[in-house]
């Protein structure tokens, strides 16, 4: 029996859409811009909000949705929205909640481009940001009255100042401010900020969540009402959507996240301890070396910094490294080095004109998955060559 053309055409498209196709162990990449409706009644039910199904990939896509649902579960909260970068997640979330005339209280030494967002675009829109030492609870308490938003990152970029996130979230609540944390460093494996009382969690998924330095992406997670506000007011209009292929790479990254973090943690702690004893090193900034971890943080990852003594030629040190590549991102399999003098050159550039405030002789390391002994030989050799 041969199939009539219509029946054949129907069979060819069967199961094309939908993350459950073929009971596959890996969700398919649903690479489509739009989804069509079987009947007009179905379309009307969907637009009336009585039926939930994908319509158009700017506002929803099944592969992206699988990633969002997993992130909400991992962050122990209701819902999440994927973004095409960590900065899109940060700016989209902040813009959903602040208005001209508002004030933001921000812990000092947040991710430099978040800092520049506050000091350029938001400043132009009459949103003022004040910076406080996040370890100084009385200072945060004093800065909060009247603030719309408390912006957190723990540990902070470069200086690695680690905070009592629960205590900071409680202060925000007392003053009626929304709290938002950048959780890229710890990931939900080591810190679930919503369980500590924080309202919203953002990630650069380009770092540990992706984990292989092959995707730029971001995500925000939080309670339904807050996520609905971002989904309603920001996501469709700014149009900053996560692509299905990127979401699929992130789903792959998530599967090995806990195991990768264990390896980053062990190797970074070992290197940090050895650096602390090295004669050319004056200080190591690693949350795991400064006594007990703050409450709510259950582990450490691969990114930290140290300060070199005057006897070390920092450019020669960086250039003598082989396993550590010179580069700014982190969270992948590869080890990376970047000296603070790069942030100073950038701060003098046309688009920032802002000194981020990193100590001059600071060097940041990301400890990848090459193994502590190999990485230590590389560092020891570079110290010897540059001293």
Ligand X SMILES: *Cc1c(COP(=O)(O)O)cnc(C)c1O
Residues at the contact surface with ligand X, assessed by CB under 6 A: 85-87, 111, 157, 182, 184, 204, 206-207, 216, 218
What is the b/e burial string over 116-137, where b = at least 16 CB atoms within 10 angstroms of the residue's CB?
bbbeeebeeeebebebbebbeb
Q: Tell me how far, at minimum, the Cβ of 176 lies from ligand X, in Å.
A: 26
What's the CA gap between 167 and 95, in Å, rounded?
A: 25
Q: Tell me how far, at minimum, the Cβ of 220 lies from ligand X, in Å.
A: 12
Q: Tell me how far, at minimum, the Cβ of 97 lies from ligand X, in Å.
A: 18
| C-beta of 28 vs 299, nearer to ligand X | 299
The two tokens of residue 39 are: 């009947």
The two tokens of residue 144 are: 């909060």
Q: Tell me how far, at minimum, the Cβ of 207 lies from ligand X, in Å.
A: 6
Residues 6+ apart with CB under 8 A from 199: 169, 172, 178, 179, 180, 222, 223, 226
| C-beta of 85 vs 93, nearer to ligand X | 85
CB of 347 closer than 8 Å to CB of 318? no
What's the CA gap between 336 and 324, in Å, rounded?
A: 5
Closest CA to 243 of 88, 83, 66, 28: 83
| C-beta of 28 vs 222, nearer to ligand X | 222
Query: At 73, which helix (H) or strand (E)?
Result: helix 62-74
Give me the phi and psi of 249, to 5 degrees please.
Answer: -65, -40
- Helix H, strand E, coil C: the string for 128-185 is EEEEECCCCHHHHHHHCCCCCEEEEECCCCCCCCCCCHHHHHHHHHHCCCEEEEECCC
Q: Tell me how far, at minimum, the Cβ of 385 lies from ligand X, in Å.
A: 29
Q: Tell me how far, at minimum, the Cβ of 24 lies from ligand X, in Å.
A: 28
| C-beta of 220 vs 269, nearer to ligand X | 220
Residues 6+ apart with CB under 8 A from 372: 266, 267, 270, 271
Neighbour tally for 249: CB within 10 Å: 21
Give me the phi and psi of 370, to 5 degrees please.
Answer: -80, -15
Closest CA to 207 of 93, 368, 321, 356: 368
The two tokens of residue 364 are: 């940041």
Q: Tell me how far, at minimum, the Cβ of 203 lies from ligand X, in Å.
A: 8
| C-beta of 57 vs 93, nearer to ligand X | 93
Q: Tell me how far, at minimum, the Cβ of 41 lies from ligand X, in Å.
A: 41
List the end-to-end C-alpha distance of the chain, in Å, as a whole number: 83
Nearest-CB residue for ligand X: 86
| C-beta of 218 vs 244, nearer to ligand X | 218
| C-beta of 67 vs 111, nearer to ligand X | 111
| C-beta of 55 vs 238, nearer to ligand X | 238
Q: Tell me how far, at minimum, the Cβ of 94 lies from ligand X, in Å.
A: 12
| C-beta of 182 vs 378, nearer to ligand X | 182
């Amino acid at each position: 029996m041969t199939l009539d053309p219509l029946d054949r055409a129907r069979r060819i498209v069967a199961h094309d859409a939908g993350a459950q196709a073929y009971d596959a162990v890996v969700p398919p990449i649903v690479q489509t811009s739009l989804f069509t409706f079987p009947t007009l009644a179905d379309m009307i039910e969907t637009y009336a909000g009585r039926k939930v199904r994908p319509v158009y990939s700017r506002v929803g896509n099944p592969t992206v949705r699988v990633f969002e649902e997993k992130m909400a579960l991992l962050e122990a909260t209701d819902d999440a929205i994927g973004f095409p970068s960590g900065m899109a997640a940060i700016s989209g979330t902040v813009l959903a909640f602040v208005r001209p005339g508002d004030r933001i209280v921000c812990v000092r030494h947040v991710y430099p481009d978040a800092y520049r967002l506050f000091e350029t675009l938001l400043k132009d829109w009459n949103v003022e940001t004040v910076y406080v030492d996040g370890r100084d609870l009385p200072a945060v308490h004093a800065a909060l009255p009247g603030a719309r938003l408390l912006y957190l990152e723990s540990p902070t970029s470069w200086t690695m100042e680690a905070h009592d996130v629960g205590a900071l979230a409680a202060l925000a609540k007392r003053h009626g401010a929304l709290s938002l944390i950048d959780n890229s460093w710890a990931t939900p494996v080591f810190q679930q900020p919503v369980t500590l009382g924080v309202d919203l969690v953002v990630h650069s998924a380009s770092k540990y969540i992706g984990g292989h330095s092959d995707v730029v992406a971001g995500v925000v997670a939080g309670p339904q009402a807050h996520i609905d506000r971002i989904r309603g007011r920001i996501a469709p209009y700014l149009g900053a959507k996560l692509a299905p292929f990127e979401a699929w790479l992130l789903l792959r990254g998530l599967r090995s996240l806990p195991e990768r973090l264990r390896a980053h943690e062990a190797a970074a702690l070992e290197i940090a301890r050895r650096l602390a004893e090295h004669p050319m090193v004056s200080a190591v900034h690693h949350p795991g070396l400064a006594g007990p971890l703050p409450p709510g943080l259950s582990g450490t990852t691969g990114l930290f910094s140290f300060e070199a003594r005057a006897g070390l030629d920092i450019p020669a040190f960086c250039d003598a490294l082989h396993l550590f590549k010179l580069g700014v991102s982190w969270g992948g399999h590869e080890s990376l080095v970047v000296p603070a003098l790069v942030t100073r050159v950038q701060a003098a550039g046309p688009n920032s004109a802002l000194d981020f405030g990193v100590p001059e002789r600071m060097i940041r390391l990301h400890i990848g998955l090459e193994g502590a002994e190999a990485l230590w030989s590389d560092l020891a050799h570079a110290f010897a060559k540059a001293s």
